[in-house]
Structure formats: C-alpha cells, structure tokens
Amino acid sequence: MSDTRETNVLPPWEKLLQRLHLNEGSLSVSESQMLFLRAITDLREDTKGALAKTVITVPRLMPLQASFLVKSTAEAITLLETNLGRKKAVGLLNSAFLHRLTTTKTYTEKRLPAEERKRQDKYEYAICFPVGDRATGFQFIFLAKEELAHNDEVFLKLVRNILTLRHQQSLLREEINREAESLTLLTHHLSEGMAVLNQDMKVTLWNRPMQRLSGYSPREAVGQPYQAVFKRTDAEDWLGQLMNVYLETPLRNVFNTQFEIVTREGTRRWVDVSGSFMRRPTDNTISQTIIIVRDVSHLKMLEQRKNEFISIATHELRTPITAIKGYLSLLHKDQENLTDKQRTYLGRANDANHRLARLAEDLLRTVQVEEDRLRINLRPVELGPILEKITRDLQEKAKAKQLTLEYVAAPFDTWVTADEEKIEQVFANLIDNAIKYTSQGYVRVFTDRFEENGQSFIIVHVQDTGIGINPKNYEAIFEKFRRTHDTAEIRESGAGLGLFIVKSFVEKQGGKISVNSRIGNGTTFSVRLQATESPKPLHDNAFHKENQPKQKGARHE
Amino acid sequence: MSKTVLLVEDEPLLIDLYEERFKEEDFELKTAETGEDALKVAEQGGVDLILLDILLPGINGFEVLRRLKSNIETRDIPVIVLTNLGSEQSDKDKQLALSLGAIDYLVKSYHTPDEMVEIIQKRLESNS
C-alpha cells in the first residue's frame, strides 16, 4: 500500500509552484527564504510518510540559519525555550502536535541569560517536523527577522499555503492509514489466502489464511521476498519469470496457475494461484502484485488418481485392441476365401476397432494434456515462419490427395504471445485435419489482424473445401470425447491430437478458436491470438530462428 | 543361416498372434515371458534381435534393457521396445528406452503383425 501513500505526499517544489500559479523566477524572495520554502515542501525523504508532519508557526521573526536536529521531546522543549522564550514555547507545546508527545514533561520557570533573550527577538518563523520512521528526532528550522525585509507578503502567503496543504495532507494520510488498516483487517477474514507484493517482489500484505497455507505468519512474512515465505517446489522465482513475460505484453495483467509449494513445516501442498499485476499508468511497469491462493491439494489428489486410473485402464485396453487389429489383419490377407458378406462384416469390425483404438488414444492424450497444463511457456512467437514450415512439411501429404495446400504470407507482423511448441502443434493439427477431411479442392492458411478494446489480435484461418460440419455440432466437436461420429467422417486415426486438445492448448495460451462451416461446403477454423511487439530487431530474430529448430526437434521426436 | 528373434512378452493373446504370423517368415522366433528368462535366452547367444515389452512380471523391460546393455555378451544385440506403454511421439518412456540403448520404440496397438514383420525384416537385413 506504499503507493497510495506516495501519491499523497505534497507535490515536489516545482509542482507546488505550478499549483500556486507561480514560477521560481517570479518569486522575489531571498535565497534563504527559498531554502526555507523548499525545506517545508520537500519533506518526504526524511519522514517516509510514517507520521504526519506538523509545522509550528512562531509569531516572531527567526533566522533560517538556525536549523537543529533534536532527539527527544525534552531537547525540543529546551530548544524552543532558548530560542523563543518560555512563554511562546509553552504556547507552542500546547499545539496539537507537540501536545501528544509531551505528556510527562513539566516546565519550571527559568530566567534566560541576557544574550539568549536578545536572540529571541530575531526569530519570526520556525517549523518542526519528525524525522525518521517513528519520529526518532525532530527537525527545527528557524527563520530570521532580516529574511523578511521587504517582500513579506509573497513569502508569508507561500508559507501559509504550504502549511495549509501540509495540514490537509496529513489529515488525508491519517484517513488512508485508517482505511488501509481496516482493509488489512478485512483480508484476514477471507477464506482464501491473499498477499500483496511490492515492485521488488517483497510482501507488503499477508493475510491470516496465508499463514495456514504457508506456515508463515503475517508478521514474519511482511518485508520478506515472496520466495522466502511461499516456496514453490519446482521453481525458484516463478513470479519474477511470469512478470518478465507479462512486461512484454502490456495489456495482460491477470494470471492463474497451479503448483506445489512446501510449507514452513516441510509439508507439500498444491495451490491454485490467481493474481494480477498492477501497473503504473505512466510507463506500464509493474508496481504491485496481488495474489489469491487456494489450497487444492485434495482436488489435485483426486485428479491425479483419476488420471492414473485412466492411464492404466487405457494401456490395458491397448492389448486387446492390438490382438483384434492383428487377427483382423490376418483375416483380411485371407479375404479371397471369404464371402462378400463376411468381407463386409470384416470391414465393419475393423472400423469399430479403429474407433476403439482412437478413443483409447484420445483418453491417453487427455490425461497428458492435463499433466502438461503447467508446462505452458508463454513468450513472443512469430507465427509466419511456423505456418510456413508446417505447410511445407505437409505439402507431400496434400499432393498425395491431389489437394492444393497454400500459406498466404501475412503482409504484417505476426508476433503473438504463445508457447512456441504448443502453437505449432495446434496449427499442424488443424492443417493435418483439414487435409484429412478434404477429398478435393484446397486447404488454405491465411491471417488477419484486428483491434478490439485497444487490444491487437492476429487471427489464423485454416480453410478447406472438405465435407464440412453441421453447425449444430460446432460445440460438440470441441468436447473431450466426441459422442457422435458421422461414419462418413471416420478416417485413419493418425497421430493427431483431438480438437478438444487443440482448443485446450489455444485457450491455455490466452487465445480463442472458432469454426465456420457448411455441410459439403468446406470448413474454416479460426484461431485468435493476442498480438505483441516483435521483441528484437528483425535481423536478430532471423538469426535466432535459424538456430532454434534443431534443438526443438530433438525434444519433439 | 536363419536369424533368430527373441520376443519378450507375457500376454498369451499377443504371443499367439505374433507366433501365428511370424511362423510364415524365414526367421526363427523365440519367446520369453519374463525379463529374467529373456536375459537367460539372450546370454546363450544366437539372438539377432530382441522385441522387448516393458510391463512384465518381475523385473521390467527398462531393467532388462539396462542389464542387456551392461553385459558384454548381449550388449550388441539390437533391441526394439515393443510395448503398449506411452506413445511413439515425444514421451518420457520412449526417451528413457532410447537413452538406455533401444534402437526403436513401438506401440503395439499402432501396428499390424504385417507391419511388424516388415520392421523386423528391415532390421535383420541392416544387421547382416
């Protein structure tokens, strides 16, 4: 919450002058008067806004040169007494500020030496403000009578204005502090963990539920780097890394992720973390991060059990599928000895087994996708070269079916925020599917760009002239397990991912997928992704690209 | 001289299937239903190619592979992992098998016996 405070500090000297419709040149004040004004304006460095600053005005003239730092209220009193005389000093000490700091001190009448009294006549103004976080000292600045020679009016007006502003400001700050306190109190009663981090990724707010989750109390956590009190088991500075990615995409601020943490006591638990980066309006840099944390260990355990079960069951399924496939293929080799009817039955049994095999593979991949979910690595990616490569790789397959496969190169930048590997799989799959379901005509890949609510998007269309999809099935084709298979659609299952997985990948990368089709009139799949700036000069990227594929291929195969 | 292929497989359904198809071919087929048996057969010599399952009773296929490759007698026999575990795309099981020295990683349910014969023949030819 340091930010809110900062914004309420009295504006710096230049801004203040603007507010008072003045500029420095037009001020006919002496140098020491100027120093005095600046001093009472620019106090924030000393006080960090921890305590309201108070200014005492003394109804007599004083010299600026007299500037003192005192360490206790007693010293302050002595100082005031010596400089102003006891009467005025007591008057001052009764003012709001010093009053609450001088509850124990009593004053005894004391005659001041003659030369001290003489000095008293010289002073007109003094300011006093606490120094340090918890007012460990008080700074006094006195202004001499001579300083107010001929331009009293302007000077006094300025002093009054500044003092008024300061007073208003201190009231405001007190109110803000009170509100902040009650807000913090509120956060303790949330059911979810909540933490706020400053720009250095240090904790500024840590509610009680966070203590249950992490083992660290608010008192222990505040002021610590977040990694010290919220330890992810598989990555050190995950938030810092995430922040670097988001800094490249200035329009995105919200994130959601799940991972395992280890608590102070050494227990491991899965957490769901939603968060948001707050940016400075001036330069878009991140000033604060808010995270909301939920314990999902129980859900995670159930999910893992479910995945394990599906995984084992599917591997078991593959054995009878292998045997059926094998024997059917032996029968098929022998088909001259079969009747037409038997051959038809054989074909149908084969189709059914294909379907069973595909279902098993879909199931396995679904589990894999769920396990892969955390491994999405978002960064700026250039779509053009990726689409070009995929269409090149699939050219042969298209030719075998006498289809035209073309990529219409975009006349604009195609940088988007995505996971390079996964986005390649998405388009490879869509294009491969398009070829699969098209028996004549073409498959065309082209791009579009558009703006919405100040955000830029790139859309990639994969258009085919294939059998098409019934609009009432638009939703169903993206479902986890497609219930309805049009027999006409059944083809080789191949190694492609299901559309559910394509959709899931696209959405995990912050994108959207849609489909437009008419039965017998072709299908167009459109993938919308968030555009981003090219991160480096273009020639640099060309170099980068050339060096990349090898390593990536190795990971893939 | 005819070549010998060792099939390490514990599922009778599949042993029968492969035996049925492979008997037409000019290589000899030996089978082992456990990892331990497989190691014994391999050590006796004369095996030109091993088709190795992963999920086996007793020691699993990865362990069999590791032992085959650390034994001077058997380390030069090419091993194709033939399993219903994992996938032929990027997969941790496949990577583990390849890093242990397998020359290929095949998922049983993806291939008909005919395709298997083709793969085996190609491999045996390239060895001779």
Taking the alpha carbons at both ends of chain B, their separation in whole angstroms is: 11
A→B contacts (Cβ < 8 Å), by residue, are 315, 318-323, 325-327, 329-330, 333, 357, 360, 364, 495, 555-557
Does residue A540 have a pLDDT over 60? no
pLDDT band at A7 (very low <50, low <70, confident <90, very high): very low
> Which fold does the domain A298-375 belong to in CATH?
Helix Hairpins (1.10.287)
Domain boundaries, chain A: 2-177, 191-295, 298-375, 377-556
User: Comparing A11 with A531, which gets the higher pLDDT?
Assistant: A531
Which residue, A247, A272, A182, A187, is CA-closest to A221? Answer: A187
- Contact state of A322 with B55 under an 8 Å Cβ cutoff: no
Tell me how far apart the alpha carbons of residues A408 and A410 are, in angstroms, rounded to a whole number.
6
**Residues facing residue A231 across a β-bridge:** A262
Q: Which of B55, B90, B112 sits opposite A557 (nearest CB)?
A: B90
**Mean predicted confidence (pLDDT) in A417-437:** 87
Other C-beta atoms lying within 10 Å of the C-beta of residue A394: 19
Tell me how far apart the alpha carbons of residues A193 and A175 are, in angstroms, rounded to a whole number.
26
Q: How many CB pairs under 8 A join A and B?
A: 50
Question: What dotted CATH number matches A377-556?
Answer: 3.30.565.10
- Contact state of A329 with B112 under an 8 Å Cβ cutoff: yes
Does residue A123 have a pLDDT over 70? no
Other C-beta atoms lying within 10 Å of the C-beta of residue A121: 12
The DSSP secondary structure of A505-548, one letter per residue, reads HHHHTT-EEEEEE-TTS-EEEEEEEEB---SS-HHHHHHHHHHH
- Contact state of A556 with B90 under an 8 Å Cβ cutoff: yes
- Residue A202 region, left (φ>0) first, then alpha (ψ -120 to 50), else beta? beta
Q: Which helix (H) or strand (E) holds B117?
A: helix B113-127
Longest Cα–Cα distance of chain B, Å, equals 38
User: In degrees to the nearest 10, what's the CA dihedral of A466, A467, A470, A474?
Assistant: -40
Integer Rg of chain B from CA: 13
Q: Which helix (H) or strand (E) holds A91?
A: helix A86-93
Contact, B63 vs B100, CB < 8 A?
no
Tell me the percentage of chain A whose pLDDT exceeds 70. 61
Q: Which helix (H) or strand (E) holds A363?
A: helix A340-372
Q: Locate tokens 């095949």: which residue?
A: B106
B→A contacts (Cβ < 8 Å), by residue, are 11, 13-14, 17-18, 20-21, 55, 84-85, 87-90, 107-109, 112-114
Query: Is domain A191-295 in CATH 3.30.450.20, yes or no?
Result: yes
**Residues facing residue A1 across a β-bridge:** none
pTM of the complete model: 0.46
pLDDT of residue B33: 94
pLDDT in tens, B44-53: 999 999 999 9
Q: In A3-122, at which residue ranges do the beta strands (DSSP E only) sit?
A: 67-70
Tell me how far apart the alpha carbons of residues A557 and A551 are, in angstroms, rounded to a whole number.
11
What does the block give as tokens for A20?
């008072």
SS3 A103: coil
Contact, A80 vs A49, CB < 8 A?
no
Residue A64 one-letter amino acid = L
Q: Which of B20, B84, B114 sits opposite A319 (nearest CB)?
A: B84
Does residue A488 have a pLDDT over 60? no
Helices and strands in chain B: count of H runs, count of E runs: 5, 5
Q: Locate tokens 């899965």: which residue?
A: A270
Tell me how far apart the alpha carbons of residues A110 and A112 are, in angstroms, rounded to a whole number.
6
Range among A7-11, A508-512, B90-94 rated most confident:
A508-512
Contact, A527 vs A427, CB < 8 A?
yes
> How close B53 comes to chain A (CA, Å)?
12
Range among A312-316, A505-509, B78-82 rated most confident:
B78-82
Question: Could you tell me which CATH class the domain B4-127 is placed in?
Answer: alpha beta
Q: In A146-192, at which residue ranges do the beta strands (DSSP E only) sit?
A: none
> How close B20 comes to chain A (CA, Å)?
9
Sign of CA dihedral A61, A67, A73, A78: negative
What does the block give as tokens for A556?
């893939």
pLDDT in tens, B62-117: 999 999 999 999 999 999 999 988 777 767 788 889 999 999 999 999 999 999 99
Interface test with B, best of A322, A331, A361, A422 (most B CBs within 10 A): A322
- Residue A438 buriedness (CB in 10 A; 0-12 / 13-18 / 19+): buried
pLDDT band at A183 (very low <50, low <70, confident <90, very high): confident
**Mean predicted confidence (pLDDT) in A102-125:** 42
- Contact state of A555 with B55 under an 8 Å Cβ cutoff: no
Tell me how far apart the alpha carbons of residues B63 and B100 are, in angstroms, rounded to a whole number.
9
Burial A454-489 (b: 16+ CB within 10 A, else e): eebbbbbbbbbbbbbbeeebeeebbeeebeeeeeee
Burial B1-12 (b: 16+ CB within 10 A, else e): eebbbbbbbbbe
Query: Mean pLDDT, chain A, as a whole number?
Result: 73
Domain boundaries, chain B: 4-127
pLDDT band at A79 (very low <50, low <70, confident <90, very high): low
- Contact state of A326 with B113 under an 8 Å Cβ cutoff: yes
Contact, A205 vs A3, CB < 8 A?
no
Q: Which helix (H) or strand (E) holds A196?
A: strand A193-197
Q: How many residues does chain A have?
A: 557
pLDDT of residue B122: 92
- Contact state of B55 with A320 under an 8 Å Cβ cutoff: no
pLDDT band at A392 (very low <50, low <70, confident <90, very high): very high
